[in-house]
């Protein structure tokens, strides 16, 4: 939270754009991915504490990181597919659509998978680092 407040004070436009993109991508899909991101950060902190306490429960944290990261990608892709189907339904009802509206719909439908992939990359990188640390100790 401290780093978020530092980022917000240094560049409030960036912070505002982040939440604007969350809302634009659809809160039904973006909010759970945000919760998964916060959960990934929590598990990273918990794994660091676990490393300091003789690796108790580290493998469980690594498995949870992997599962949450994969679920965030799948949830984002589901959001994209549902968004694209909704966009095609609206296009069918209008019958004539401009390229600007079409491009805007594709952009909005791409936001959940992008955010899901970001969560996946963070969780996978942490998983790799923690696996490497646990193998070095053994």
State how far the Cα of 22 lies from the Cα of 30, in Å rounded to an integer.
6
Question: CA distances (Å), 90 to each of 63, 96, 103, 110, in order?
Answer: 41, 10, 14, 17
pLDDT surpasses 80 at 15: no
Contact 76, 29 (CB under 8 A): yes
pLDDT: which is higher, 129 or 13: 129
First to last CA, the chain: 34
| pLDDT tens digits along 21-49 | 777 777 888 999 999 999 999 999 999 99
State how far the Cα of 32 lies from the Cα of 27, in Å rounded to an integer.
8
């Amino acid at each position: 939270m401290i780093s978020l407040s530092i980022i917000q004070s240094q560049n409030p436009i960036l912070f505002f754009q982040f939440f604007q993109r969350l809302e634009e991508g659809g809160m039904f899909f973006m909010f759970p991915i945000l919760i998964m991101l916060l959960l990934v950060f929590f598990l990273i902190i918990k794994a660091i504490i676990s490393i300091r306490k003789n690796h108790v429960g580290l493998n469980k944290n690594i498995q949870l990181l992997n599962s949450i990261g994969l679920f965030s990608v799948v949830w984002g892709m589901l959001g994209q597919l549902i968004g694209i189907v909704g966009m095609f339904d609206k296009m069918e009802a209008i019958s004539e659509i401009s390229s600007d509206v079409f491009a805007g719909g594709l952009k909005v439908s791409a936001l959940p998978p992008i955010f899901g992939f970001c969560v996946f990359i963070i969780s996978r990188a942490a998983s790799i680092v923690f696996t490497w640390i646990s193998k070095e100790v053994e």
